[in-house]
């Protein structure tokens, strides 16, 4: 289920990203182990999604959040937020208003909580 959702999110929201399918999706128990819902590893080109997430709408938000890291190669900064808002706009176009609202909320959470910037687990090749 996660893999097909990942593929459809790529197609709808990030059509120009990873056209060669170099990125992998891994579902792992990271929520328990690291307290994270998702994790983007730029070195191994792997997006980890917590196996604890069961709801499709939650999976969509976490996947889009992590792919925005992969696309912008940044943490929770302005570029990341801008790309997330672009995905929100796309959700609106696709009439997925619930997802649009959830993505906007995600941007707001990181904007208004500087402490959450410190828990960026995004690894980047320097
Ligand atoms: Zn993040």
Residue 100 belongs to a domain with what CATH number? 3.30.2010.10
- In the reported structure, the alpha carbon of residue 61 is separated from the centroid of ligand 1 by a whole-number distance in angstroms of 11
User: Residue 7 has which token pair?
Assistant: 């593929």
Residue-wise pLDDT tens digits, 79-114: 999 999 999 999 999 999 999 999 999 999 888 765
Binned at pLDDT 50, 70 and 90, residue 32 comes out as: confident
pLDDT average, residue stretch 54-83: 94
Task: Tell me the whole-structure pTM to 2 decimals.
Answer: 0.88
Pair 50, 38: CB distance under 8 Å = yes
**In the predicted model, is pLDDT for residue 68 greater than 80?**
yes
Tally of domains in the chain: 1
Q: Rounded distance, CA 32 to CA 52, Å?
A: 8
Whether 122 maps to a domain, the answer reads no
Residue 42's domain comprises: 2-117
- 125 within some domain: no
- Higher model confidence: residue 89 or residue 1? 89
Cα(106) to centroid of ligand 1, in Å? 10
Q: Is 105 helix (H, G, I), strand (E, B) or coil?
A: helix
Q: What integer pLDDT is reported at residue 113 of this predicted model?
A: 66
């Amino acid at each position: 289920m996660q893999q097909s959702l990942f593929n459809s999110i790529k197609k709808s929201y990030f059509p120009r990203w990873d056209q060669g399918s170099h990125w992998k999706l891994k579902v792992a128990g990271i929520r328990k182990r690291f307290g994270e819902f998702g994790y983007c590893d730029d070195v191994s080109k792997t997006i980890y999604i917590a196996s604890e997430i069961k709801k499709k709408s939650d999976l969509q938000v976490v996947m889009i959040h992590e792919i925005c890291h992969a696309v912008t190669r940044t943490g929770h900064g302005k570029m990341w937020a801008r790309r997330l808002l672009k995905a929100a706009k796309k959700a609106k176009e696709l009439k997925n208003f619930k997802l649009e609202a959830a993505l906007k909320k995600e941007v707001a959470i990181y904007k208004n909580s500087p402490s959450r910037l410190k828990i960026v687990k995004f690894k980047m090749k320097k």
